[in-house]
Structure 1
Amino acid sequence: MATFTFSMSLSSFRSFVPIWHHRAPNHRSLGLFDVTQRMRLPPPLKCSAAEPDQETKVPATSSGSGEWTHKLTAGIAGIGFLETSYLTYLKLTGSEAFCPIGGSPCGDILNSDYALIFGVPLPLVGMVAYGLVAALGLQLATKKMLPFGIGRSSAQLMVLGTTTSMAAASAYFLFILSTKFSGSTCSYCLLSAFLSFSLFFTAVKDIGLQETNKQVGMQLLIASLVILTLNTSYNNSISASSSLAEMELPYYATEIKNPSSPFSLSLAKHLHSIGAKMYGAFWCSHCLEQKEMFGREAVKELDIVECYPEGFRPGTVMNKACVDAKVDGFPMWVINGQVVSGEVELSELARVSGYNGSAQPS
């Protein structure tokens, strides 16, 4: 910083200021110190090459407001995980679902061919998807380190991709529900669709509309692959089904032509007395042959459970009694808690049931 100081040497001051050597009457001599004391020198002047220092203001950074969306994502996905876990348990154990809404049984849809993807239970696939989204949502909400070195932006894209696939699958299932099961109600299907679409829109809100538009190509690809996979799976399932599964059969009563023997009539009464049951279907040829073994009169004494009393069409499931008995083929006998499958000779039924009657098979 340059500084200029106003100064004056003594010699130059003497040449500039006159000094009186002769005293005049009534005048005082003007000495050097008198002059210097009366002169007021200006203060030193400063010249700076820079402007006076000013405080630099740092703009405050606003914290992200997307944490609540991550918590919301984790909460919604958690509900979906619980729902699909329950449905997976029902599917693997063959149990009947509790239907809080609607009069028709939920099993009509949950136990149909549309509840499987290449043999894998659909609720199990949904449980994995919901679990993945819930885990990523919790990690993003707590700002913890993601596994395998996954960054936050990559995790958000994973959530967007997964929820896109879930929303596409839900849209496809809603179409199936409205076309293939128009007379049925599935509250679990509707709840899962609502959760899937909610997760998708929450993911879009989290990542931002501008960034979502950049990922439209990826989303369309994922949705197309999901729909193509589901459509291929169901087409293969229909092709592998028997011709019976492709047609609609109204229920009809079968006519027994053979007369009953004393042994068959006595055995039928014995089976009825011990609570033995035969599970069958009106269209099953082996069931008809089993009835012919007993004859017209003896069949009336048997406890025969018809598993399709309302007829058969694609997607129809067995009635509750057959589902509870876990019938996997026709005919099927349950005698004293023991399961006997297939068409059985009367002598074998007598042995299994402990029949000790006097009449013998003819």
Structure 2
Amino acid sequence: MIRRRSTPWIHRWSRTVMAAIAAIGVLETAYLTIAKFTTNSVICPTSGCDKVLNSPYATVFGTVPLSLLGCLAYLSIAILALAPKAVNPDTNKRQHSQLENWTWQALFIITAAMLIFSSYLMYLMAFEIKDLCIYCISSALFALSLFVLVLVGRDWEDIGQLVFTGILVVMVSSIGALALYNSVRSPAPFVSATPGILPPAVTTTSGPAQIALARHLRQIGAKEYGAYWCPHCHDQKMLFGKEAAKIIDYFECDPKGQNSRAEICQAAAANIKGFPTWEIQGQFYSGTQTLDKLAELSGYTGPRNFQK
């Protein structure tokens, strides 16, 4: 009597585990995509997440968030991983077998491409952006886990063909990543003649009330901590207007920014949860504040007919 070899547990559960990881990836990248289209800010223990999310590397083709492409990739993996389960192998063995083979090939190509792309993004985060994003790191770990599960999740009969396909995927993915980001650099339009990167220009005009509030904030020693790449910091300055924004005691916290005071920011890092953060009379307030709120927090008693 010939004993039938039992199926390894990893082969039985690999698709289910891949679908679960991909589902988490869909949720993560969907959240990042929504944040990119709405607030440009995410919940994160460090400012690095917002910095990466708002960097030029966070979009492709000019306006498409990279997280959206990641979301579609994770969704594709989840569908491919579960697709064979929709066909009963007892009643339609041939179709089930064909679907198994086709989806494994597709899963190998997609996960290999994601791993190559994620590796390149880790390089950009470490050496170009130079900050830490937990969402990016977790996504890279998801990509690695999915690729490993594809490799060990079944018996690959033609290893040579698998290696050949892998080499093609590496070449195409590497060329694609380099082509997408070849022209991406730090925001060149905001580089001034003096060392450091300037934030976008403030284009609104200050009214007398904005100027009076800015002078009051400076007189009482209020500080605004921000970064040149932070869209909320720019929004805060736009509320004040260009004349009043120059009066505020602003601290550039990114070492790359013009007139950076990163050391002072570092000393207050325990109280800076995100940018901008206001320090008013010993208290810290995170996020873009309305001018009325700043007036209330600082004890400002001047005119409040702030221009919109």
TM-score range, shorter chain: 0.5 to 0.7
CA 1:177/1:246 → structure 2, altered by over 3 Å: closer, same or farther?
farther
Amino acid corresponding to residue 74 of structure 2 in structure 1: Y
Out of 134, 159, 175, the position equivalent to 1:228 is 175
What is the Cα deviation at residue 306 of structure 1? 4.6
Per-residue CA deviations over 1:88-138 (Å, capped at 9, x if unaligned) read: 1111113421114xx443111121111112222111011000000011112
Task: Give the gaps of 5 or more residues in structure 1.
Answer: 1-56, 253-263, 274-279, 292-298, 327-333, 338-349, 355-362
Mapping for residues 287-326 of structure 1, pairs under 5 Å: 290-291=242-243, 304=248, 306=250, 308=252, 310=254, 312-313=256-257, 320-321=275-276
Matched, 1:137 2:137: no
Matched, 1:108 2:51: yes
Task: Give the gaps of 5 or more residues in structure 2.
Answer: 199-206, 217-225, 229-233, 261-273, 278-285, 294-303
Aligned to 2:307: 353
The alignment yields a C-alpha RMSD, in angstroms, of 4.6
Aligned to 1:32: none
Amino acid corresponding to residue 156 of structure 1 in structure 2: W
Per-residue CA deviations over 1:26-70 (Å, capped at 9, x if unaligned) read: xxxxxxxxxxxxxxxxxxxxxxxxxxxxxxx7x676675533111
Give the share of equivalent positions with the same residue, in percent.
Answer: 23
Matched, 1:154 2:99: no
1:117–1:230 Cα contact (<8 Å) kept:
no
2:214–2:248 Cα contact (<8 Å) kept:
no
Matched, 1:117 2:60: yes
TM-score, structure 1 length as denominator?
0.54
In the aligned structure 2, how far is the partner of 1:196 from the partner of 1:248? 41
What is the Cα deviation at residue 177 of structure 1? 2.0
What is the Cα deviation at residue 205 of structure 1? 1.2
In the aligned structure 2, how far is the partner of 1:97 from the partner of 1:266? 32
What is the Cα deviation at residue 243 of structure 1? 4.8
Out of 190, 204, 211, the position equivalent to 1:244 is 190
Per-residue CA deviations over 1:142-178 (Å, capped at 9, x if unaligned) read: 54699x9973211110011110111111111122222
In the aligned structure 1, how far is the partner of 2:179 from the partner of 2:165? 21
Out of 47, 58, 68, the position equivalent to 2:13 is 68
What is the Cα deviation at residue 202 of structure 1? 0.5
1:67–1:140 Cα contact (<8 Å) kept:
no
Amino acid corresponding to residue 72 of structure 1 in structure 2: V
Greater percentage in helix: 2
2:29–2:67 Cα contact (<8 Å) kept:
yes
What is the Cα deviation at residue 84 of structure 1? 0.8
What is the Cα deviation at residue 248 of structure 1? 8.3
In the aligned structure 1, how far is the partner of 2:73 from the partner of 2:177? 15
In the aligned structure 2, how far is the partner of 1:281 from the partner of 1:106? 13
CA 1:197/1:281 → structure 2, altered by over 3 Å: closer, same or farther?
closer
What is the Cα deviation at residue 211 of structure 1? 3.2
In the aligned structure 2, how far is the partner of 1:203 from the partner of 1:249? 48
Aligned to 2:271: none
Out of 156, 178, 186, the position equivalent to 2:126 is 178
1:88–1:124 Cα contact (<8 Å) kept:
yes
Q: What count of residue pairs does the alignment treat as equivalent?
A: 246
TM-score, structure 2 length as denominator?
0.62
Aligned to 2:265: none
Aligned to 1:216: 163
Amino acid corresponding to residue 98 of structure 1 in structure 2: I
In the aligned structure 1, how far is the partner of 2:116 from the partner of 2:157? 21
